Chain A
């Protein structure tokens, strides 16, 4: 019985072609042995490295003159993307803002937060899924 020469079992090739990938100084590895046990994420705050600003098609524009600093936009923002300083709203973290429009909807003051079309995207270091 002749057996055709076949290839040996090949290792998995990541379709994203991500050989190694840094997030906060920690590197994914190519070998299963080197992965963190149990699939745990062995560092904290990794969500800050995931820039979701590229998801939006509208962006909120902040006008400090119209703002009464009631902080409702900050309370309701699902992405913690409203920036504060010393208890006052200073702007929007556009790296993370997904453009959902809740801040503009909740704002009681005319013109403090308005939605505009936005075709720009933040400079992402990683591809967003």
Chain B
């Protein structure tokens, strides 16, 4: 059960700190990068960085963002996230997604809680009293993109829940980044997935 912590650091004033939990290959690094890029496009200051270890497809990884109106000077890890995004709910069994979270931390989790009540319960247990939002991003991704890569719909959901950046700005940055690697049809699918997630995310 997560222990709520106060956030005494005035230096972080104005900076929203985000932590991503995912498995290698689910697009967390790409998402944290285009989130940083969109923040800059929207006129903010931002950082986006993954945590580097022995990466392999499927291994648990973390990525981070800071978004702020003010220049960001600190070059240190995010330890007290304001927003926690979980791209893979199987991580609940191996990773403490609530580590460093405070009373106001918001969670956005990729999970199918409608058909899987046990999952809903373990999720509530993991986050305690914190505000938690869920979305079956895998299902949306399979529908719109053809593969269960949940990063883009999860970004959509996070933007709806936190309002940290305007959706359209992020969609533009995301399309720009993805079209360097993916064909237009797939990029368009990602856009649709993001918009759907924006509408469909619900509170736990």
Direct contact of A and B (CB under 8 A): no
A interface with B by C-beta (< 8 Å):
none
B interface with A by C-beta (< 8 Å):
none
